[in-house]
Structure 1
Amino acid sequence: MVDYIVRAALIGVGATALLDLWAQFLKHAFGLPAPNWAMVGRWFAHLPRGRFIHEDIAKAEPVANELAIGWIAHYLVGILFAGIVLAIWGIGWAYNPTFLPALIVGLATVGCGWFILQPGMGAGIAASKRSNANTLRLMNIIGHTVFAIGLYAIALLTR
């Protein structure tokens, strides 16, 4: 069990860090805005209060330390998804990784954003309430493919 937790943490943190590096690359190379982890933190902080869906998370009551909460949640979710890879394909995957399981879970993470996080924050299903919804959807798919590459790459590096 300790091996499972350590592997999930290493792989999840590494893959999430790669996703963050990708966001910084897009910001500096193309001027695209980086994710606002404070708003994600606000959304997570409202969950224990029974608020799952907001009209616009930016207009919701601010929460102390929401930026830190957002960053922590971001990395914990990355660890969770790495743990899902290991739970489905077994701890052996961490020692002999293949790309397909990482890609399957990486693309599944897109669905979590589209059907849980974005509607909950007021953007609608798959960002349907945003004027640039198709661009956001494409960026979600590309970003979470980068996350999948990170799952696979970190598993290779730490096997």
Structure 2
Amino acid sequence: MTLEYLCYTLALGVGATLIMDLWAWVLRRFFHIPSLNYAMVGRWGGHLLRGRFHHDNIAQAEPISGEAPLGWLLHYGIGVVFGAILLALCGPEWRHTPTLPPALAFGLASVAAPFLILQPGLGAGIAASKTSHPNAARLRSLAAHGAFGLGLYVSALLLAR
């Protein structure tokens, strides 16, 4: 791997995650739809490092020092890893001539991570099954990851210029 490829992957993942966060901001600002509290992701990550994967309710778990910045770091770090996976799946030529279908499909497929790992770990159950409105939570997750997929494409287009 070259330094150029690593920088491209970093920019791709950060750009896509920024677009995902812009989507969350629009939902919160104009429709009063709350987004994920990344401090709770950081709390979960901090406990994960201590060997605890599952919580009944992450909000009731012991706070972790620096959990909000840790949560945001995890959020963006995972976006970069997902960007690298997309590049590995599509091959190096996709970098130069990005197309929407693989980016959007990968973004939507990446919803498996919160459905099967994060949400159960936070105490929300598989695919938010233990929340008060699981279908609404699932739809928000799918839309967020769709925005991430669109972000992968838009970021790749900007980087290809």
The answer to whether the superposition gives a TM-score over 0.5 is: yes
**How many Å apart are 1:143 and its aligned residue?**
1.1
Structure 2: tracts of 5 or more residues without a match = none
Question: For residue 78 of structure 2, what is the amino acid of its counterpart?
Answer: V
Question: For residue 144 of structure 2, what is the amino acid of its counterpart?
Answer: G
Q: Is the 1:4–1:91 contact (alpha carbons within 8 Å) kept by the matching residues of 2?
A: no
Report the 3-state secondary structure (helix = DSSP H, G, I; strand = E; otherwise coil) of the residue aligned with 1:77.
Answer: helix
**How many Å apart are 1:116 and its aligned residue?**
0.3
How many residue pairs align between the two structures?
159
CA RMSD of aligned residues (A): 0.9
d(CA) in 2 for partners of 1:55 and 1:72?
A: 24
Name the residue aligned to 2:112.
Answer: 111
**How many Å apart are 1:138 and its aligned residue?**
0.7
Counterpart mapping for 1:32-43 below 5 A: 32-43=33-44
Asked if 1:141 is matched to 2:115, the reply is no
Asked if 1:24 is matched to 2:25, the reply is yes
**How many Å apart are 1:81 and its aligned residue?**
0.4
d(CA) in 1 for partners of 2:6 and 2:45?
A: 23
**How many Å apart are 1:88 and its aligned residue?**
1.2
**How many Å apart are 1:4 and its aligned residue?**
2.2
Deviations 1:12-66 (A, max 9, x none): 0001001111111001111111220000000111111110011111111100000
**How many Å apart are 1:7 and its aligned residue?**
1.3
Asked if 1:101 is matched to 2:102, the reply is yes
Name the residue aligned to 1:152.
Answer: 153
Name the residue aligned to 2:92.
Answer: 91
Asked if 1:74 is matched to 2:75, the reply is yes
Q: Is the 1:127–1:137 contact (alpha carbons within 8 Å) kept by the matching residues of 2?
A: yes
User: Mean alpha-carbon deviation: is it higher for 84-93 or for 114-123?
Assistant: 84-93
Q: Is the 1:4–1:83 contact (alpha carbons within 8 Å) kept by the matching residues of 2?
A: no
d(CA) in 2 for partners of 1:47 and 1:108?
A: 24
Question: For residue 36 of structure 2, what is the amino acid of its counterpart?
Answer: P
Q: TM-score by structure 2 length?
A: 0.96
Q: TM-score by structure 1 length?
A: 0.97
d(CA) in 1 for partners of 2:108 and 2:28?
A: 22
**How many Å apart are 1:108 and its aligned residue?**
1.9
Q: Is the 1:4–1:86 contact (alpha carbons within 8 Å) kept by the matching residues of 2?
A: no
d(CA) in 2 for partners of 1:64 and 1:91?
A: 40
Name the residue aligned to 1:132.
Answer: 133
d(CA) in 2 for partners of 1:152 and 1:77?
A: 17
